Amino acid sequence: MIGWLDCGSGASGDLLLGALLDAGVPLEVVAGAVEAVAPEPVRIEAELVTRSGFAATRAHVVVADSVTRRRWRDVRALLEPLDGNLRDRAVGAFTRLAEAEASVHGTAVDDVHFHEVGALDAIADVVGVCAGFVHLGLESVSGSPVAVGGGRVDTAHGSLTVPPPAVATLLRGIPSYGGPVDLELCTPTGAALLAEWVTAWGPQPAMTSRTIGVGAGGHDPTGHANVLRLLIGDSASTDPGSELLLAANVDDLDPRLWPAALAALLDAGANDAWLTPILMKKGRPAHTLSVLVTVEHAAEVRSVIFRETSTIGLREQVITKAALERAEATVEIRGHPVRVKLARHDGQVVNAQPEYEDVAAVAAATGLSVKSVLAQATAAATRLW
């Protein structure tokens, strides 16, 4: 099962928590995790609401007024009782918050005073959201570009332009955009949770949706549904021979970077990756990057493309191929094994190709030329037909 977050109204702790509860995460799972770490009474409630006519779940974190100011080291100690993966995820999200605050204010990470994000409701949001995702056990979570909103927001440091510095810092490397309304749509807590859980960014991946959770924000602006959607389902099932073709035209990447980029794509699970020289508008030389990948590895490969190249978009299409039945055999050249790839059509061998790496190894071991070893291996392979 995989998940995809529609962040067209940004992200916050309560939006994410509401979407998880609406998607079927039991309230007691979230409440139990929060109770295990909360130093003061905290209650989680779920309310069915509408936002611009759409039904959604609003998550409420009910706490008493608290004047306790907690540093990052204090919050980290509170998280220790959590179980393995849940603890690691919650610590990861809060570490991102602490590092962002430290960067913005020029302080040591351990000495960061969290102000709003160190309050009980933020601890409940982080722990509750992480508990929800751990409960779902998704193989991966991807997300759309994040709407940050607009206007100004009041903080402990005064009135700031949206996105405030901590949010902007947390969203580095994550696609985001201003608007569509003049509200703070993405909070520091929401940005930290997205950075912790989402591994790929872009439109909804090819998937068969099973469950849709809709979380509601506190505001209900006219003409805009202030909700976050979580789609949960299976990676799109395709025929065994089907793949995705990801392609992009790139004209501004140093050519010396291409070999490392292609190697990274293959390491990430791409079935094949290649470059085609092209001439773009205004006579600019460029390359078309083409990558074949299964749906299973598509999210990771997309991330590698955006990280290793300068493209800002991809074209995608499903490719169907007719694949021959394949097998492997071995022939011997001067006492050394050479693997041979066999391809069959209707049960008959129609192609036998020696593995070049084995041919080169035999040439190095025997002192023969690669050309000679290849010729002998090819001749031996044809006898397998």
The per-residue pLDDT for 242 is: 64
CATH superfamily of 242-320: Transcriptional regulatory protein pf0864 domain like (3.30.70.1380)
- Determine the Cα–Cα distance for residues 12 and 125; give it in Å rounded to an integer: 9
For residues 184 and 162, give the distance between their C-alpha atoms in angstroms, rounded to a whole number: 6
User: In the predicted model, is pLDDT for residue 117 greater than 50?
Assistant: no
Global model pTM greater than 0.75 = no
Name the band, by pLDDT with cuts 50, 70 and 90, for residue 64.
confident
Mean pLDDT of 2-7: 96
40 compared with 279, residue with greater pLDDT? 279
| pLDDT over 90 percentage in the chain | 70
The pLDDT value recorded for residue 239 is 47
Q: Which pLDDT value is given to residue 324?
A: 87
Banded pLDDT at 114 (limits 50, 70, 90): low
Cite the residue boundaries of each domain of the chain with CATH code 3.30.70.1380: 242-320
Total Cβ atoms within 10 A of residue 84: 8
pLDDT band per the 50, 70, 90 thresholds, residue 67: low
348, pLDDT greater than 70: yes
**What is the longest distance spanned by two Cα atoms in the chain?**
83
Measure the N-to-C terminal CA separation of the chain; round to a whole number of Å: 43
pLDDT score at 299: 86
132-175 confidence digits (pLDDT tens): 999 999 989 999 999 999 999 887 778 889 999 999 999 999 99
**Angle 120-136/27-35 helices, nearest 10 degrees?**
130
Res 319 pLDDT > 90: no
Task: Enumerate the β-bridge partners of residue 289.
Answer: 248, 275
Query: Residue 277: its pLDDT value, please?
Result: 96
Specify the pLDDT at position 323: 80
CA distance 351 to 370: 21
Of 49-53, 56-60, 318-322, the one with minimum mean pLDDT is 318-322
What the block records as the tokens of 206 is 């090819």
The predicted structure's pLDDT at residue 241: 46
pLDDT digits (tens, 9 = 90+) for 208-246: 899 999 999 999 999 999 999 999 998 765 444 468 899
Q: What is the mean pLDDT of residues 66-83?
A: 84
What are residue 384's phi and psi, to 5 degrees? -80, -10
Strand partners of residue 43: 62
Block residue for tokens 């998550």 = 59
Q: Give the chain's mean pLDDT.
A: 90
